[in-house]
Amino acid sequence: MIVSGGQTGADRSALDWAIARHILHGGWCPAGRLAEDGKIGPAYNLKETPEAQYLQRTEWNVRDSDGTVVFSIRPDLSGGSLATMKLVSQLGKPGIHLFKSQTPSENADQLCRFIRKHEVKILNVAGPRASGEPQIGPFIHSIFDELFENWE
């Protein structure tokens, strides 16, 4: 199962990828289904947190998953992506940061090892908004395509 907060960019790309392949998806989103582009649509199977703050939904997605992957194009994390990795550490959950320094196949291999090592059944996906890194969606799709094409 893939979970995320439904924000544009990394979150939404992961959910779109899962929906297109009939893979279970879900997660927490802020009250009011807030996102950078307005209200998150009903096609996304997300539950609303009591508060409209992004940090609460981020924490709840980290808390309720078996592991978190943060994707980015750049090697440095900031904003919500950095907050996600801090929450991973604070909550004692497994986490990995994958960025565009390797091929999709190499990143997929790293993610596969992470999933197997930590026995991840519910994978939380996070990363930058579309406005911050417009190419994050295709990057995530290429890694997930490689991962699931070669899953044994």
What is the pTM for the complete model shown? Answer: 0.96
Q: How far apart, in whole angstroms, are the C-alpha atoms of residue 125 and residue 38?
A: 20
pLDDT tens-place string over residues 59-72: 999 999 999 999 99
pLDDT tens-place string over residues 92-111: 999 999 999 999 999 999 99
The phi and psi torsions of 47 (rounded to 5 degrees) equal -100, 145
Q: How many residues does the chain have?
A: 152
Q: Which residue has the tokens 């890194």?
A: 133
Q: How far apart, in whole angstroms, are the C-alpha atoms of residue 97 and residue 83?
A: 12
pLDDT tens-place string over residues 122-138: 999 999 999 999 999 99
Query: Which two tokens mark 62?
Result: 């980290």
Query: Which two tokens mark 100?
Result: 């565009």
CATH number at residue 74: 3.40.50.450
Look up the domain containing 14 and give its range. 2-149
Give the number of domains in the chain: 1
